[in-house]
Structure 1
C-alpha cells in the first residue's frame, strides 16, 4: 500500500479543502482509496472564470472531468451551462455536511439554476459560511432566509427585495454586503434578525439602498446594539 493510501481521512479532506473543486476531483486518480475522498470535503468553491482552465501538464482527467468530454451534445454547452452541470453533479454525489459554499460568477436579474442551488443548500441545514459573488444584480430567492445555521454571510452584486414572513439568522455573526440593491426597511429587518451579529460591512457603491423616509438612525443603532 502506498503512502498516500495510508493518510488519515481527516488529513486528506483538509488538504482537498485547500484546492479548487476541479483540482480536488482530479485526486480521484491517485489511488483507489482516494477515488471518492473529494466527494466528502466540507468546503465547496465554484468560480466561473477558473472552472474550465485547460490543463497543460498532461494530467489524466478525473471522473468528473471525463463527463464533459464524452462525444455527445454536452460538447456544445457554453461554459456557464457546464459550470451549472458540474455544480449539480458535485451536489448529487457529495457525501456528508457542506459547511462552506462559495459561488462566484457575473449574473444580472433572476437565475433559476442558482435559485435551485441555494434552495438545495438551505435544505441540507449544514452550511455555516455562504459566499455569493455575482458582480451584477442577481435577485436573491426567498430560500436564502432559510439558512438558520449560518454564521457568516457574504453577498456581492445582489438584489434583496423580498419581505419574508420570518427571517431567522439567529447564529449569524458576520454579514458582509457589497453592491447591494435593497431598501432601508428590508435592510433594518434583516439586521434586526441577527441578534449575535458582531461584524457588519455594507458598501452600496454600484448598488442602491432606497430610503423610505420614515426610518431613523436610532432605528439602525437599535438593530446594531450588539456589535
Structure 2
C-alpha cells in the first residue's frame, strides 16, 4: 500500500511539474515583446494566426498586425467547395475589417473569381492602403475582361508583384511602379498596343521580369525595356487556332540585361537590342516547326545573344536551324562565349535521351561562330545520323575553337553504342587541345555490369586522340547505386 501511495504521489508530482513547465513556457512566450510575437505569427498560415486570438486577452488582436497575409483556396481541398468558397471569402473580408493600421509586407491570395471581382478588388485596395510590399495574386474563372484597381498600378511601396490570371487584362492609361523590382505575369492576354506599351514603360527600377504563358498575338509590337532590368524570362505556350504568320514583334532593349531565358515555339518574332551586358542565355524550343520563317526567327534571336559567355540550347534549336543554314555564316561571332550546353530540359523538367546529331550541318555552322569556346556539354546525349559512322567529312573543317580553346567536353547517356562511340571518336580526333572528355554512362546496374564497363573501357582506350594530354573519364553507377569513375 505504501509503495502504491508513493507511486501515485510521484506521478502527481510529475504531472504537476509538466504542467508547470507548460505554464512556464507559455508565460515565457507571452512575456516576449509584441514585435517578436508578430514575427513568430507571420510564419503561420493566416487562419492559424487568427485562431491564436483565443489564447488570452494579450493575444486577442496580435494577429491583426502580422506582416504577412496568405489566403489560398485553390490549392486546398474541401468536400463542399461552394460552402468552402463562401467561408473563404467571408474570412478574408473579416481579416481586413479587423486589421489595424500596420503595414502589410506580403499579401497572397489564390481563389476563383466568378462573380466576386468587386470583392477581390476591395482586398487589393486594402493591401495598397496598408503599404503592401509583395503581392501575389492567382485567380481562376475570370469572365471576359478583368480589371484591377487603378491604385495598384501607382503603388509606391510595391516591390514584388506576381499576377497569375487567365484573362484579358484591362490596363489603365497611367502606370508608375516607382519601386517595383520583381514582376511575374502568368496567362495574361495583352490586347491593346498603346496600353501595353504604357504598362511596360512604367517600370523604372524593375530588375527581374518573368512572362509565363502570356499571349500578345493580337499586338503588332511589344516593347520590353527597363534601365535596370537584368533578368528576363519568357515562356510562350501554344494556343488553339494561332497562326505562326501573325506573330507579334517583340522588341527587347536590354541595356543592363545580364540573363535571358526563352521557352516556347517562336510564335512571335523576338529581337534583342543594346544587349552588350548580356552574360547568360537559355533557349528551349518545345515544338519543331520546319518552316523557313520559324528558322529565320531563331536566327534573329540568336543574333541578339552574340555577347553571352554562357549559352544553353535545347536540341530542337539545332533542328530548327537546319532550315536556315544559309543564314548561319552571316551570324555574328560569339567572341565571349566560353560555355555551351545542349540540354534536353525545359524549366526544370528533364527529358533524357534527346540527343544531338554530330553530323548536323547546322551544328557545325554554329560551332564555327564560337571561336573561344572552352566547355561543351551534351546533357541529352550525342549520336550520329545513320550511315555516317566512318565518314571523315564530319566536323570538317573543324570549328576554330577545336584547335585553340576547347578543353573540356561532357556527354551524357553514353552506353558504348556504335554510333555514340563513333561520335566520341570524331570529337577526340578533332579537338586537338582537349584536356578532358567526361562520359556519363547510362549502363544499367545488372549482373554483367562489370563486363559492360570493361568492354566500354577497351573501346575508348583504342580511340586515337588528337590531344596527347586528353583524359577520358567514364562515370557510372554500380548495383549499390554508388557513383564510380575511371580515368583512361
Pick the TM interval, shorter chain: 0.7 to 0.9
**TM-score of the aligned structures, taking structure 1 as reference length:** 0.76
Question: CA separation in 2, counterparts of 1:211 and 1:194?
Answer: 23
Matches within 5 A, 1:1-227: 2-49=27-74, 78-95=83-100, 96-107=102-113, 111-122=117-128, 124-137=129-142, 139-143=146-150, 144-159=152-167, 161-183=169-191, 185=193, 186-204=195-213, 207-214=214-221, 220-222=251-253, 225-227=255-257
Aligned pair in 2 of structure 1 residues 162, 217: CA closer, same or farther (>3 Å)?
closer
Larger Rg computed on CA atoms: 2
Q: Per-residue deviation at 1:225?
A: 3.7
Question: CA separation in 2, counterparts of 1:115 and 1:195?
Answer: 25
Identify unmatched segments of 5+ residues in structure 1. 55-76
Aligned pair in 2 of structure 1 residues 189, 43: CA closer, same or farther (>3 Å)?
same
RMSD over aligned Cα, in angstroms? 2.9
What SS class does the counterpart of residue 210 from structure 1 fall into?
A: coil
Q: Which has the higher contact order (CA 8 A, sep 6+)?
A: 1
Question: CA separation in 2, counterparts of 1:183 and 1:18?
Answer: 39
Q: Deviations over 1:49-104 (max 9, x none)?
A: 577979xxxxxxxxxxxxxxxxxxxxxx8222221211111111111111211001
**TM-score of the aligned structures, taking structure 2 as reference length:** 0.37
Higher share of residues assigned helix = 1
Q: What stretches of structure 1 move > 6 A for 4+ residues in a row?
A: 50-54, 216-219
The 8 Å contact of residues 153 and 174 in structure 1, kept in 2 or not, is answered as yes
The 8 Å contact of residues 173 and 196 in structure 1, kept in 2 or not, is answered as yes
What SS class does the counterpart of residue 221 from structure 1 fall into?
A: strand
Identify unmatched segments of 5+ residues in structure 2. 1-23, 226-249, 258-488
The 8 Å contact of residues 145 and 168 in structure 1, kept in 2 or not, is answered as yes
The 8 Å contact of residues 142 and 162 in structure 1, kept in 2 or not, is answered as no
